[in-house]
Chains A and B, each alone.
Chain A
């Protein structure tokens, strides 16, 4: 079965599959707090397909937009186009902290087995190899959203034993660590989507656990593209790829290939 899909796989790119798989995690009539990059394509796709009543929340103040075109920024006018309110960051962040956000949705540069994210710096903080933008709203989304979805490229230097800088909290050091730190009860990472697979987090250990391999991807590839050990379940599913029509919708959303490169 997997082989058959793989031979047809050429009509979609890795980014399109990632955005598509991520969009499938979102439910209609729920709220999602979305960060910059590929997550925006995924939520726009969800809104135009299976989740027309997805309540989209942007950190800069746009809530409930019907996004007409890919925003360059999570604060540009597309993020409050036909929205229900154009409010403030304080309002959005406060409501998120109070429990109005079901899903958070972020990109990441590095991640560890507990879903802790780095977007601040590669190398030491005080003598950086690469200075990245920092938390932005990521720490807030990771702290406040009940279920966090992460989308990123998987390589052995991005799936690491220890992130260079823990910008955004995953499960920190394991079960109960978020609550001990003072973070909201029951919140935390829910899904991680890469170009290779879809992952969840083991309920008991809070460690990264494989759910499905993308068509044509081997288990060995997943294991060798990670510094840490990923929990492998007995039954491994195959990720459902987008149809050609669904790919066409994604290309309408991002015709220039800004995020879908």
Chain B
């Protein structure tokens, strides 16, 4: 196949398919064992300075803030992160100076809430580097290629644009149709963190919502930390195996983290904590405010449980549950008057 065009972007987490296959054969245990551990242990064991990481869910939906805050607490450095619709997860890690490289599909924004002050500052000042550009499907298909053990996935997006010029893709002539086609390379994160509704002690996990990219991401990542709202017996998993989104042999660590997505949404359980989002968007406007936020909500507390008490505990979560279940109205305290 003749290469017609090449994007100039860098590929994060590229491995030759044979190399990654060997890595999987040697490192991913098929043993059914208890993988429960604390957030502290999971982060120190599976996330290292310089790693390329990816966060499951959808940027501010079903993300593992329990693990994100722990990455901040442990002051991990020089991380690259997947900008696969990333939002509060990435914004927090860029603001904390843990992440300094991103391939954005959607990054540096909070959807209807507006742009991320801290991430914008980091990108516009050059502290956070854009290694390539892509789209949401583009990122998704990095993971699809990786989970299939293939070097690339052909696609019909990205073509003809500056998104392509800055991508890590190539355009070739498709040998079947004779038309130009985009090749999206495989991308294997060193570690992924995915928050789920429930799983057993081995990591067999269920998600009661859209899976977004987590089916593919969980299979593409070399190491996978699953944080969970609750741990259930494995007989419950085996009674309804069709509900398993992530099987145990993909999982390296299981972290029990009720309300672990706060202030993000956990579908069915609690809606966004918009007061907290407003506080973050306001305080992260300045480096000083950002520091104060981290001091109060991360460094100033022992762990995520203490943080949950600090943000209002059970009373707060009852309220967020009401909004989630449409029994209380939407709030938008960050709205500019």
B135: chain A residues at CB < 8 Å are: 135-140
A195: chain B residues at CB < 8 Å are: none
Docked pose: A60 CA to B137 CA in angstroms: 10
Task: Give 1 or 0 for each of A113-138: 1 = CB within 8 Å of chain B CB.
Answer: 00010001000010111111111111
A151: chain B residues at CB < 8 Å are: none
Docked pose: A133 CA to B202 CA in angstroms: 37
Assuming A76-B265, A182-B179, A182-B181, is B332 touching A60 (CB within 8 A)?
no
A210 contacts partner chain B, Cβ-Cβ < 8 Å? no
CB distance from A193 to the nearest CB of B (A): 19
B113: nearest residue on chain A (CB-CB)?
A72
Docked pose: A86 CA to B61 CA in angstroms: 14
B133: chain A residues at CB < 8 Å are: 120, 134-135
Docked pose: A212 CA to B334 CA in angstroms: 35
A36: chain B residues at CB < 8 Å are: 111-112
Q: Spot the interface stretch: A18-26, A234-242, A252-260.
A: A252-260
B329: chain A residues at CB < 8 Å are: 255
CB distance from B324 to the nearest CB of A (A): 7
B83 contacts partner chain A, Cβ-Cβ < 8 Å? yes
A74: chain B residues at CB < 8 Å are: 111
Assuming A88-B213, A89-B140, is B324 touching A134 (CB within 8 A)?
no
Of A77, A129, A178, A257, which one neighbours B267 at CB under 8 angstroms?
A77
Of A129, A167, A182, which one neighbours B163 at CB under 8 angstroms?
A167
Of A79, A129, A134, which one neighbours B104 at CB under 8 angstroms?
A134
A172 contacts partner chain B, Cβ-Cβ < 8 Å? yes
Assuming A70-B330, A86-B209, A133-B108, is B159 touching A169 (CB within 8 A)?
yes
Tell me if B115 and A143 are in contact (CB < 8 A): no
Tell me if A62 and B210 are in contact (CB < 8 A): yes
Task: Give 1 or 0 for each of A63-91: 1 = CB within 8 Å of chain B CB.
Answer: 00000111011111101100000111110
Tell me if B161 and A89 are in contact (CB < 8 A): no
Tell me if A136 and B123 are in contact (CB < 8 A): no
Tell me if A143 and B210 are in contact (CB < 8 A): no
B280 contacts partner chain A, Cβ-Cβ < 8 Å? no
B124 contacts partner chain A, Cβ-Cβ < 8 Å? yes
B99 contacts partner chain A, Cβ-Cβ < 8 Å? no
Tell me if A88 and B212 are in contact (CB < 8 A): yes
Tell me if A97 and B161 are in contact (CB < 8 A): no
Interface residues contributed by chain B, number (CB under 8 Å)? 70
Docked pose: A258 CA to B333 CA in angstroms: 10
Of B58, B113, B120, B141, which one neighbours A130 at CB under 8 angstroms?
B120
Of B111, B113, B140, which one neighbours A90 at CB under 8 angstroms?
B140
B151 contacts partner chain A, Cβ-Cβ < 8 Å? no
Most chain A beta-carbon neighbours within 10 Å: one of B108, B159, B166: B159
Docked pose: A182 CA to B174 CA in angstroms: 10
CB distance from B274 to the nearest CB of A (A): 8
Task: Give 1 or 0 for each of B233-265: 1 = CB within 8 Å of chain A CB.
Answer: 000000000000000000000000000000001
Tell me if B59 and A132 are in contact (CB < 8 A): no
Tell me if B124 and A130 are in contact (CB < 8 A): yes
A182: chain B residues at CB < 8 Å are: 156, 159-160, 171, 179-182
CB distance from A127 to the nearest CB of B (A): 8
CB distance from B280 to the nearest CB of A (A): 14
B93 contacts partner chain A, Cβ-Cβ < 8 Å? no
Task: Give 1 or 0 for each of B144-180: 1 = CB within 8 Å of chain A CB.
Answer: 1000000000011111111100100001000000011
A216 contacts partner chain B, Cβ-Cβ < 8 Å? no
Of A87, A140, A169, which one neighbours B136 at CB under 8 angstroms?
A140
B187 contacts partner chain A, Cβ-Cβ < 8 Å? no
CB distance from B328 to the nearest CB of A (A): 11
B207: nearest residue on chain A (CB-CB)?
A86
Assuming A140-B135, A169-B159, is B272 touching A76 (CB within 8 A)?
yes
B166: chain A residues at CB < 8 Å are: 125
B300: chain A residues at CB < 8 Å are: none
B73: chain A residues at CB < 8 Å are: none
Pairs across A and B, CB under 8 Å, 7 listed: A74-B111, A77-B265, A86-B211, A90-B215, A135-B133, A143-B156, A168-B163
Binding site for A on B (CB under 8 A): 57-61, 83, 85, 87, 104-109, 111-113, 115, 119-120, 123-124, 126, 130, 133-138, 140-141, 144, 155-163, 166, 171, 179-182, 209-216, 265, 267-268, 271-272, 274, 324, 326, 329-332, 335-336
**Known pairs A90-B213, A144-B156, A169-B161. 10 more at Cβ < 8 A?**
A36-B112, A73-B61, A73-B112, A116-B161, A130-B124, A131-B124, A135-B106, A166-B162, A182-B181, A183-B156
